[in-house]
C-alpha cells in the first residue's frame, strides 16, 4: 500500500514537472519500479492525470514482451487517447505476436475493442492466422462473417479471395454485400463471373454493389451484360452499367450502342449516347449526327457536345446544313455546336440564323459570330441591335470582333431608347475603361429607368473609382402606363398567366354559352384585383388571362388574392359553376407590339410554366413526386420569382422539381407558391 502511494505521488510530480531535469529524475525513479508501475500509469492516464506523451514514454520504458495482455484490453478504453497509445504500442512492439489474441476480440460487444482488433488484424496481415479466420467463418454469425471477410480480403491471398467468392452465396444478403465490396476492392479477376451472376440477385443492394465491383475490375467479359443493363428499369442500375462500359473503354461495343440509339425507350437512348460520348470513337460520327434529330433534348445535347469534341470539317458541314432545318430544336443544336466549335465555314449559316424566328437561336448565332472575329459580321449585327429580344448580347459580340471599332457603336447605343442594350453597352465600356464615354455615362444618371441609372453608377465607379449618385427622377405613375409604351418598346415586368382548368371539357360538356358565362365570372374577379395591384397590361386568352405588373410583389399579391377569392366563390356554386385555376408567375422582358400586346421569350416561358404536367417532372432533391404535384388551384413560379418572395411575409415556396420547357433551353426549377 505504501508503494502504491509512493508511485502515485511520483506520477503526480512527473506530470506536473516542466523542466527536462525534473522529468528525467522522476522518469528514472518510476522506471525503477518495473512492471509494478504499469497499473498506476494506466490508472493515471485513464483519469486524465497523466498526459498522453508522458504516459506513452513511461509505458514504453517499463513494458516488455510479457505485457501484451495488459495492453490489449486498452483498445476498448472509453478515452480515445488511451486507445490510441495502446494501438501504437501494439503496432510497434507486438506486431508478430498480437494477431492470435486479437482474433478473440472479433466477436466482442464493445465496438471500440472490436473495430481496433479488425483494424490491426487487417494491418498485420498475419498469414499464420488466416486459416484460423477461415475456419471460424462457417459457424459464425452474420456480423462476424462480415468482419472475417473484411480482414481476410486485406491479406491479398488466393484463399482470402476464394472465401469472398464462396460468401457470395451466403443466405444472409448483408454477408453477400460484404463479400461483393471486398472483391471489388481487391479487383479479383477470378470473381468476374460469380459477380455477374449476382446481377440477377433478388436483393437490389446486392445487385448494385456487384455492379460497383465490376466497374472497379473493368473486365471486358462484362460488356454484353452491361449493354443489357442499359435497359434496366432502375435508373441507378443503368447509371452503373454506363459507368462500367465507360471504365472499360473498349470501342468494340460501338456498333451495339449505335443500335440502342434507335430504342423506343428514351432512357436507353440517353444511356447509349452518354457511353458513346466517353468512348470518343470516330466511328460514331454518323450515328451521333442522326441522334441530333432525336425527340429527347438530352440525347440531342450529348450528341452535339460529343461531335464538337471530334473536330472534323465534315461534321461542321453537317451542322451547317442543320442551320436551315425546319425543326427549331435541330437549329438550336447547330448554333450550339458553332458556339463550341469555331470554324469560318459556318459564317454564312450564322448570318442567316440572325433572322431565325427563335430568339435563342438568334442570340447564340450572334455570340458564335463574335467568336469567329470576322468583321464582315458587324453590319448585320448592328441591325440586330434593334431586336429587343437579343440586343443585350450585341455589345459584347462587337467587342469580341474588334474592341477599337466597337467603342464607337457602344457610345451610340447609350443614346438609344432600348434599356437592355444601354445596360449591356455600359458594362462593355466599363470593362474597356473607355474614358471618353464618361460624359455620356453621367447623362444616364438621370435616365427615367432606375436600372439604367444604377448601371451608370456602377460603370462610373469601375472607370473612375468614384461613387456617383443617380439623379432624382419623378415617378411617372402607373395609371395609363401601357398607353405610353411605344410599339417596339422592351419593358421588364412581372408576368402572370391564368388558365381555367379543363376548359375544353367544360365547353364540350356544358356548351359555349356556359363556358362564356364562367369567363365573365372570372373576369369580374380578376379585373378589380388587377387594377388594385396597378396592372400594366391585361388581356383575355380565351380560357384565361395574361396580365403584367410593375413589380413581383404586385403579381404575387394579385395571384394569391384571386385564388383565395375564387375559392370562396366556388364554395357557393354547384359543380358546373366552379372555376379551378392554374397560375404561373415569371419576371422578364416583354416586347410591346403595335396593339400594346406583350411578346417575347419571357411571355412564352410563363405560359410553359403554367402548363407543366406531372409526367414532365424530373426528380429533384427536396422536390415533389409526380403524384404529389397539384393539377389545379395552384400558383407555380419560376426561380427568379422565388428569390424575390423570400422577404415577403406570410409566403412560402416549395420546390416542385425540374422541367424541360418547350422552346426554352435547359432545365428549369419550378416552385409552388403557398401562403
Q: Is residue 94 part of a domain?
A: no
* CA dihedral of residues 173, 174, 179, 185 (deg, nearest 10): 130
> Which structural domain, as residue segments, surrounds residue 565?
494-674
Q: Would you say residue 481 has pLDDT above 70?
A: no
| Grid coordinates belonging to 523 | 373576369
How many domains are contained in the chain? 1
The per-residue pLDDT for 2 is 66
CATH code assigned at 593: 3.30.70.1230
pLDDT at 472: 64
Is residue 515, in this structure, part of any structural domain at all? yes
Cα gap 358→325, rounded to integer Å: 13
Joined grid coordinates for residue 31: 522506471
What was the pLDDT predicted at 631? 92
pLDDT of residue 674: 86
Instruction: Please report, rounded to a whole number, the percentage of residues in the chain having pLDDT higher than 70.
Output: 96
Based on DSSP, count helices (H) and strands (E) in the chain, helices before strands: 36, 8
C-alpha cell at 549: 405588373
Give the model's confidence band at 480: pLDDT under 50 very low, under 70 low, under 90 confident, else very high.
very low
CA 516, 521, 524, 526 torsion: positive or negative?
negative
Q: Specify if 587 maps to a domain.
A: yes
Top-confidence residue, 416 or 216: 216
Which range (17-26, 222-231, 492-501) has the least confidence? 17-26
- For residue 83, name the pLDDT band (cuts at 50, 70, 90): very high
Q: Is residue 290 part of a domain?
A: no
pTM for the model? 0.54
pLDDT tier, 477 (very low <50, low <70, confident <90, very high otherwise): very low
- pLDDT, residue 479, reads 38
Q: What is the pLDDT of residue 420?
A: 86
Domain-located, residue 79? no
- CA distances for 246 relative to 539, 645, 656, angstroms: 54, 44, 33
In a domain, 45, yes or no: no
Q: Would you state the pLDDT for residue 82? A: 93
Q: Residue 360 has what pLDDT?
A: 83
Note whether residue 628 is domain-resident. yes
Pairing of strands 490-500, 598-599: unpaired
Higher pLDDT, 395 or 577: 395
Q: What is the 3-state secondary structure (H, E, C) of 346-412?
A: HHHHHHHHCCCCCHHHHHHHHHHHHHHCCHHHHHHHHHHCCCCCCHHHHHHHHHHHCHHHHHHHHHH
Residue 113 lies in a domain: no
Task: Calculate mean pLDDT across residues 597-612.
Answer: 91
Q: Specify the pLDDT at position 202.
A: 85
Residue 172, all three cell numbers: 444472409
What pLDDT, in 10s, does the model give residues 281-310? 778 888 888 888 888 888 888 888 888 888
Amino acid at each position: 500500500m505504501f508503494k502504491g502511494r509512493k508511485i502515485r505521488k511520483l506520477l503526480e510530480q512527473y506530470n506536473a514537472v516542466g523542466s527536462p531535469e525534473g522529468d528525467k529524475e522522476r522518469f528514472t525513479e518510476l522506471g525503477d519500479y518495473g512492471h509494478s508501475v504499469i497499473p498506476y500509469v494506466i490508472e493515471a492516464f485513464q483519469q486524465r492525470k497523466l498526459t498522453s506523451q508522458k504516459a506513452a514514454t513511461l509505458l514504453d520504458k517499463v513494458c516488455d514482451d510479457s505485457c501484451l495482455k495488459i495492453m490489449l484490453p486498452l483498445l476498448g478504453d472509453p478515452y480515445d487517447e488511451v486507445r490510441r497509445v495502446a494501438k501504437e504500442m501494439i503496432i510497434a512492439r507486438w506486431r508478430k505476436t498480437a494477431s492470435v489474441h486479437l482474433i478473440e476480440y472479433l466477436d466482442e460487444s464493445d465496438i471500440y475493442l472490436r473495430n481496433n482488433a479488425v483494424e490491426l488484424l487487417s494491418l498485420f496481415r498475419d498469414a499464420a492466422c488466416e486459416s484460423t479466420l477461415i475456419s471460424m467463418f462457417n459457424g459464425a454469425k452474420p456480423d462476424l462473417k462480415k468482419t472475417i471477410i473484411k480482414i481476410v480480403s486485406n491479406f491479398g491471398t488466393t484463399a482470402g479471395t476464394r472465401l469472398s467468392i464462396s460468401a457470395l452465396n451466403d443466405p444472409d444478403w448483408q454477408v453477400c454485400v460484404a463479400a461483393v465490396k471486398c472483391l471489388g476492392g481487391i479487383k479479383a479477376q477470378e470473381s468476374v463471373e460469380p459477380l455477374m451472376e449476382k446481377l440477377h440477385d433478388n436483393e437490389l443492394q446486392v445487385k448494385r454493389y456487384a455492379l460497383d465491383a465490376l466497374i472497379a475490375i473493368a473486365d471486358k467479359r462484362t460488356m454484353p451484360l452491361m449493354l443489357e443493363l442499359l435497359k434496366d428499369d432502375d435508373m441507378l442500375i443503368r447509371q452503373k452499367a454506363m459507368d462500367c462500359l465507360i471504365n472499360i473503354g473498349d470501342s468494340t461495343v460501338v456498333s451495339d450502342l449505335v443500335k440502342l440509339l434507335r430504342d423506343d425507350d428514351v432512357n436507353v437512348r440517353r444511356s447509349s449516347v452518354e457511353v458513346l460520348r466517353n468512348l470518343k470513337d470516330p466511328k460514331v460520327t454518323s450515328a451521333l449526327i442522326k441522334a441530333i434529330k432525336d425527340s429527347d433534348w438530352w440525347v440531342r445535347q450529348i450528341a452535339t457536345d460529343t461531335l464538337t469534341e471530334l473536330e472534323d470539317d465534315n461534321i461542321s458541314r453537317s451542322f451547317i446544313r442543320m442551320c436551315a432545318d425546319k425543326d427549331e430544336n435541330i437549329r438550336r443544336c447547330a448554333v450550339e455546336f458553332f458556339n463550341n466549335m469555331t470554324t469560318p465555314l459556318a459564317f454564312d449559316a450564322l448570318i442567316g440564323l440572325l433572322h431565325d424566328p427563335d430568339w435563342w437561336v438568334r442570340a447564340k448565332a450572334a455570340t458564335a459570330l463574335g467568336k469567329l472575329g470576322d468583321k464582315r459580321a458587324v453590319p448585320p449585327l448592328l441591325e440586330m441591335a434593334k431586336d429587343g429580344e437579343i440586343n443585350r448580347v450585341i455589345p459584347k459580340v462587337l467587342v469580341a470582333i474588334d474592341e477599337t471599332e466597337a467603342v464607337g457603336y457602344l457610345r451610340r447605343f447609350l443614346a438609344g431608347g432600348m434599356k437592355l442594350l444601354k445596360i449591356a453597352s455600359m458594362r462593355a465600356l466599363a470593362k474597356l475603361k473607355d474614358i471618353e464615354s464618361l460624359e455620356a455615362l453621367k447623362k444616364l444618371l438621370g435616365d427615367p429607368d432606375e436600372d439604367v441609372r444604377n448601371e451608370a453608377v456602377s460603370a462610373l465607379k469601375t472607370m473612375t473609382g468614384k461613387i456617383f449618385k443617380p439623379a432624382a427622377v419623378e415617378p411617372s405613375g402607373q395609371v395609363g402606363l401601357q398607353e405610353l409604351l411605344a410599339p417596339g418598346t422592351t419593358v421588364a415586368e412581372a408576368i402572370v398567366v391564368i388558365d381555367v382548368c379543363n376548359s375544353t371539357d367544360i365547353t364540350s360538356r356544358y356548351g359555349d354559352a356556359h363556358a362564356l358565362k364562367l369567363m365573365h365570372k372570372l373576369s369580374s374577379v380578376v379585373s378589380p384585383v388587377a387594377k388594385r395591384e396597378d396592372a400594366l397590361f391585361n388581356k383575355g386568352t380565351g380560357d384565361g388571362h395574361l396580365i403584367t405588373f410593375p413589380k413581383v410583389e404586385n403579381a404575387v399579391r394579385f395571384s394569391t388574392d384571386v385564388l383565395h377569392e375564387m375559392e370562396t366563390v366556388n364554395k357557393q356554386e354547384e359543380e358546373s359553376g366552379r372555376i379551378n385555376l392554374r397560375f404561373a408567375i415569371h419576371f422578364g422582358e416583354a416586347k410591346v407590339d403595335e396593339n400594346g400586346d406583350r411578346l417575347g421569350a419571357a411571355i412564352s416561358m410563363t405560359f410553359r410554366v403554367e402548363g407543366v404536367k406531372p409526367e414532365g417532372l424530373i426528380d429533384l432533391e427536396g422536390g415533389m413526386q409526380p403524384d404529389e404535384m397539384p393539377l389545379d388551384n395552384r400558383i407555380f413560379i419560376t426561380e427568379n420569382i422565388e428569390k424575390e418572395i423570400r422577404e415577403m411575409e406570410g409566403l412560402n415556396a416549395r420546390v416542385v422539381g425540374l422541367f424541360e420547357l418547350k422552346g426554352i433551353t435547359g432545365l428549369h426549377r419550378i416552385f409552388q407558391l403557398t401562403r
